[in-house]
C-alpha cells in the first residue's frame, strides 16, 4: 500500500510503498479515500525534537484523520 512516510528528521515526508498491515482482533483495515493533515501532524513536522521524552523515532506515518471503506 502507499503511505506518506516521515523518514528522517528535517526532511519532507515522501510517498512510499509499505507492507499492508494485518488488522488484529477488534480492528478493521480501511481503503482510504482521503486523509487530512491536522494541527498535530503539522506540529510534529515543524517542531519535532529528536530525542525528546516520549518522542517517536522515524520512520513513521503521519496522519490520523481519514475517511474510507471497510
Per the DSSP assignment, residues forming a β-bridge with 48 are none
Q: Tell me, what's the pLDDT at 49? A: 58
Tens-place pLDDT, residues 4-62: 898 887 788 899 999 999 999 999 999 999 888 777 777 776 666 555 655 677 888 87
Q: Tell me, what's the pLDDT at 53? A: 56
**d(C-alpha 70, C-alpha 66), whole Å:** 12
* pTM of the predicted protein model: 0.67
Q: Tell me, what's the pLDDT at 64? A: 78
3-state per-residue secondary structure call for the chain: CEEEEECCCCCCCEEEECCCCCCCCCCCCCEEEEEECCHHHHHHHHHCCCCCCCCCCCCEECCCEEEEEC
Amino acid at each position: 500500500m502507499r503511505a506518506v512516510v516521515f523518514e528522517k528528521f528535517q526532511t519532507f515526508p515522501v510517498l512510499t510503498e509499505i507492507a499492508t498491515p494485518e488488522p488484529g482482533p477488534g480492528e478493521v483495515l480501511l481503503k482510504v479515500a482521503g486523509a487530512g493533515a491536522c494541527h498535530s501532524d503539522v506540529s510534529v513536522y515543524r517542531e519535532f525534537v529528536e530525542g525528546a521524552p516520549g518522542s517517536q523515532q522515524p520512520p513513521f506515518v503521519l496522519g490520523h484523520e481519514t475517511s474510507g471503506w471497510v
